Structure 1
């Protein structure tokens, strides 16, 4: 005859005291209350696993948080699963994973994990640009969307209004960034495959526009405009510094005194400040050093060569030169980044080696194999080219009040 278990009562449970060893109070059907030496009471369901037929305990919860009535209800639900050969522990894990996917593996949270890795390979300014674009165009509507629910139609619907406004470059960049996030999610096992692959085919292609720049024969006009413009000395020196060194706007604006070796006449920009995260060395010509000498009374006791006007503890904004060029009347004709194009075009027309010009611009070879083996920056061979370029700028500045146009004239 089968043993009959007397069902537990609330009174019996409440009066159960702790002992030296843990013990169980049985309610029948595998449900039991385990009383631990510290007095804690836990509900368990003892059952046979459907696959292995081995005994196992399913934790249901802690008493009194989980009442007797509710413990019996949960135990019965577990027995119903067992009747279908479903292990309640495996079912519990599955539900917890589903909850995690919905509430933790959202687009915003996965994007944060992706961005944490991404920003280690890019410049701080570019990292800010990436995250702002997602905050502006993607997160307002999709931040809480589970990553598994991100589909091509959903993203296309989100980006179509941006395309309708004509912001095709923004659409292109957002599609690229979302693809990287979904590739990351795929590699982490959160989705089976990236559903956004090829999504760019759903949008118009932006027309490739080169940075606005002047022709080589327009250099004297530029130098004259810089010399006669009503701008601060720091801004004038910054524009000419960028022109002589052929650097990007952010690299020039963020120049630090500790990056400059006046004795060796070399400016070394650390990887963290470079677009391609590679150290970039620039041989300094006499004209470039003259610019530094002009800035010494202003900023030599500070961290940055070109300090911001409002907060000298910070560098000039990377857009300072650009805005100054607009005020000079070059809007639509020249942007500060276009100074690099002006230098590149001039040097290539003069027959300088393409590798030297590309090295001066800190461009990385598109051929990954060649780039991996060719780690030289041609520093010594670039020096004559940089000397010629600075001399060419100086020649274009004759008769003006350019900082480097003549050493006898002082900047006002």
Structure 2
């Protein structure tokens, strides 16, 4: 059997030669001085050679381990050379299945069942918080500590709820990868227990005195330099709609502004809720408009009337 001293002492000759070890393992020494581990074996009645790597990159101990692995495959009726090619192919394929690639495939499949706003929010959170850190890594190579590191960075922005939501999305991506045969396990599964707990919610601050409310609205009117912003804040105070509904308000949604019953008809598709809520027939949200609201819209028309959005 070989030892390191014999291997180091082997010098190249005019012809290639072999130094035998045991169980068909040998070192091939080329005329150029390369020392390569090889193993002879028979499979299906044919003599074959398995390359195990160069010395000293592959040590004597490592070469024997590779030989023993090959012998175990032979005992199971498998060809070690074929299994080696399959393993290399699987490793290459795994490196191509990056987290970002799989995440985008997951998003593409699920987005049609989500509201457009939610679908955009999901992919935006991944692009902002996840892809820069682990998007280029093979999805099977990502470890729980690496995921925790990414989520800790989100927590440092005091976005604790966002960190928890992003972890759930990572877990959903791994569930898709496991079902697709791309991954075997979900490294984010146990990470949730290591995240910071949500802070206890107290009562939201609210103005309940009408005089104080008037002062606050007057201050808003004085403090904002952009006229369209002042008008938007005035209209939200008059109608109590959600900020997103106000931002997306279109001139086509307003009816009968010159009549006795002016109305803002917010389409169901723009309202908060699941897909069924957004697809609901006759589910538009109706906002009756006071004269003061109509006055705000008339003022806004002078600034934004040429566009679709108020």
Map of 1:161-310 to 2, 5 A cutoff? 161-163=153-155, 166-209=158-201, 213-217=205-209, 218-229=212-223, 231-262=225-256, 265-276=262-273, 277=275, 278=278, 280-286=284-290, 287-305=292-310
- Give secondary structure in 1 for the equivalent of 2:78: coil
Confirm whether residue 142 of structure 1 aligns to residue 146 of structure 2. Answer: no
Map of 1:7-406 to 2, 5 A cutoff? 85-86=77-78, 95-103=88-96, 105-120=97-112, 121-124=114-117, 127=119, 129-163=121-155, 166-209=158-201, 213-217=205-209, 218-229=212-223, 231-262=225-256, 265-276=262-273, 277=275, 278=278, 280-286=284-290, 287-305=292-310
Range that drifts further, 145-154 or 204-213: 204-213
Contact 2:144 / 2:191 at 8 angstroms: preserved in 1? Answer: yes
Provide TM-score, normalisation by structure 2. 0.59
Deviations 1:335-383 (A, max 9, x none): xxxxxxxxxxxxxxxxxxxxxxxxxxxxxxxxxxxxxxxxxxxxxxxxx
CA distance in 1, matches of 2:298, 2:157: 48
CA distance in 2, matches of 1:102, 1:224: 60
Gaps of 5+ in 2: 1-42, 45-72
Deviations 1:264-288 (A, max 9, x none): 7443333553332525412222233
Q: For the structure 1 residues 128 and 210, does the alpha-carbon distance in structure 2 shift closer, same or farther, using more than 3 Å as the test?
A: farther
Provide TM-score, normalisation by structure 1. 0.46
Contact 1:107 / 1:144 at 8 angstroms: preserved in 2? Answer: yes
Please provide the CA RMSD for this pair. Answer: 3.6
Q: For the structure 1 residues 197 and 297, does the alpha-carbon distance in structure 2 shift closer, same or farther, using more than 3 Å as the test?
A: same
- Give secondary structure in 2 for the equivalent of 1:216: coil
> CA offset at residue 242 of structure 1?
1.7
Q: Which residue of 1 aligns with 2:65?
A: none
- Give secondary structure in 1 for the equivalent of 2:149: helix
Contact 2:264 / 2:289 at 8 angstroms: preserved in 1? Answer: no
CA distance in 1, matches of 2:129, 2:301: 44
Ranked by relative contact order (alpha carbons within 8 Å, sequence separation 6 or more), the top structure is: 1
